Amino acid sequence: MTQLIIDCDPGIDDALALMLAASSPDVDIVAVTTVTGNRPVEIAAGNARRILDLSGMAGVPVYAGAALPIDRDQARCNLVHGEDGLGGVDLGPAMAIEPGSAVLRIVELLTRHPEHSLTLAAIGPLTNLALAERTSPGVLRRLKQLLIMGGALHRRGNITPAAEFNVYADPTAAKIVLEAGARIVLFPLDVTEQAVMSAEWIGALSNLDTACGRAAGLMLQAYAARDPLLHDVCPIAYLLDRSLFQVQRCGITVECGPGAMEGKTIATFIGPLDDADAQPSILAAMSVRATALLDAVHAAFARLP
Ligand code: BDR
Ligand code: CA
């Protein structure tokens, strides 16, 4: 059983990632923490709550975290997922989220649980994780695995020519986290741009005729026209079946700007997979068996309410 924290900014692909995690009998979602990213953190937290409730996960606590990037006084949100973050799909009012800060909750969970027992999937800007690392240096090294959707190694960015959105939204945080020495598996645009949804596949989710299938179908109607990619689903899918992905070992640094390169992720070296002593050492997913991924996600959704 994987004990999992999900740090997210729902976001439609975040919503699908939460649903995918909820579908698995092998995953115990310990907590969901939210951060300002696609939308401001209060909206993200409410959306996470709604999606978990829809997925039969009403017992999973949701915490709100950082409202602003680490060293900026303005958030860099986007409207790719609509004003409400869920493509205008009305999932009803959100139940209350937990009191207290997501950052302190992450620190507390990682400190309380035995070393290398918790896995964390970070699918929004990395502000909460960087603040956790600053609050308690070394805390991210206690993770069994830190799965991150972010960056673009050999690809053009998707928010600027140089940068991918999650890194651009808080480059300082990304640098702190990627250089923290944690056991990171990164899912950059290089791999997530291979995870393309087709209209037929979206239709098949809707046709499941379940609450989650219908919600996913509606959310994806508008989103897929803009960005038909299962970005945030990739780290969760890796957790469920590593064989879907091909990874390589590399060092990564982040350009913190300002300027045209701000938020760019740069692979400082690419080394053999077994060279675990190379530092900082990150596994980066570079390709995915896309058809198998889509089939696996569809099968998982068939298990959801
Ligand atoms: C990332 O940006 C967000 O819009 C998505 O939710 C995903 O986490 C892709 O660049
Ligand atoms: Ca996201």
Q: Tell whether ligand 1 has an atom less than 6 A from the beta carbon of residue 7.
A: no
Distance CA 20, CA 40 (A): 23
Q: Encode pLDDT of 284-297 as tens digits.
A: 999 999 999 999 99
Distance CA 174, CA 35 (A): 13
Closest ligand 1 atom to the C-alpha of 9?
A: 6
pLDDT at position 226, please? 84
Distance CA 291, CA 305 (A): 24
Q: Mean pLDDT throughout 34-49?
A: 98
Q: Encode pLDDT of 226-268 as tens digits.
A: 889 999 999 999 999 999 999 999 999 999 989 999 999 999 8
The Å distance, Cα 149 to ligand 2 centre, comes to 8
The Å distance, Cα 198 to ligand 2 centre, comes to 20
Q: What are residue 288's DSSP bridge partners? A: 245
* CB neighbours of residue 187 within 10 Å: 31
Q: Mean pLDDT throughout 96-109?
A: 97
Lowest mean pLDDT of 43-57, 237-251, 264-278, name the range.
264-278
The Å distance, Cα 125 to ligand 1 centre, comes to 9
pLDDT at position 222, please? 78
| Residue 219 pLDDT > 80 | yes
| Residue 272 pLDDT > 80 | no
**Is-contact 37 44, C-beta < 8 A?**
yes
Lowest mean pLDDT of 157-166, 189-198, 278-287, name the range.
278-287
Distance CA 157, CA 167 (A): 10
Q: Tell whether ligand 1 has an atom less than 6 A from the beta carbon of residue 164.
A: yes
Distances (CA, A) of 103 to 17, 134, 172: 21, 10, 16
- How does residue 271 score in pLDDT terms, banded at 50, 70 and 90? confident
Taking Cα atoms as reference points, which of 117, 113, 15 lies closest to residue 62? Answer: 15
| Residue 275 pLDDT > 90 | no
Closest ligand 1 atom to the C-alpha of 11?
A: 6
Distance CA 139, CA 136 (A): 6
- How does residue 225 score in pLDDT terms, banded at 50, 70 and 90? confident
Q: Two tokens at 246?
A: 């091909």
pLDDT at position 280, please? 59
pLDDT at position 279, please? 61
Q: Encode pLDDT of 20-30 as tens digits.
A: 999 999 999 99
Q: Tell whether ligand 1 has an atom less than 6 A from the beta carbon of residue 38.
A: yes
Taking Cα atoms as reference points, which of 45, 1, 16 lies closest to residue 149? Answer: 16
pLDDT at position 224, please? 81
Secondary structure (3-state) at 218: helix
Closest ligand 1 atom to the C-alpha of 80?
A: 4
The domains of the chain, with CATH numbers, are: 2-301 (3.90.245.10)
The Å distance, Cα 165 to ligand 1 centre, comes to 6
Please state, for a pLDDT cut of 90, what percent of the chain lies above it: 90
Distance CA 269, CA 251 (A): 5
- How does residue 304 score in pLDDT terms, banded at 50, 70 and 90? very high
Residue 66, exposed/middle/buried by CB under 10 A (0-12, 13-18, 19+)?
Answer: buried
| Residue 171 pLDDT > 70 | yes
Average pLDDT, the chain: 95
- How does residue 125 score in pLDDT terms, banded at 50, 70 and 90? very high
| Residue 277 pLDDT > 90 | no
Exposure string over 144-177, b if 16+ CB within 10 A, otherwise e: bbbbbbbbbbeeebbbbebbbbbbbbbbbbbbbb
**Closest ligand relative to 149 C-alpha:** 1
Q: Tell whether ligand 1 has an atom less than 6 A from the beta carbon of residue 158.
A: yes
pLDDT at position 268, please? 84
pLDDT at position 299, please? 98
DSSP 211: H
Nearest CA to ligand 1 atom 4: 38
Distance CA 40, CA 47 (A): 11
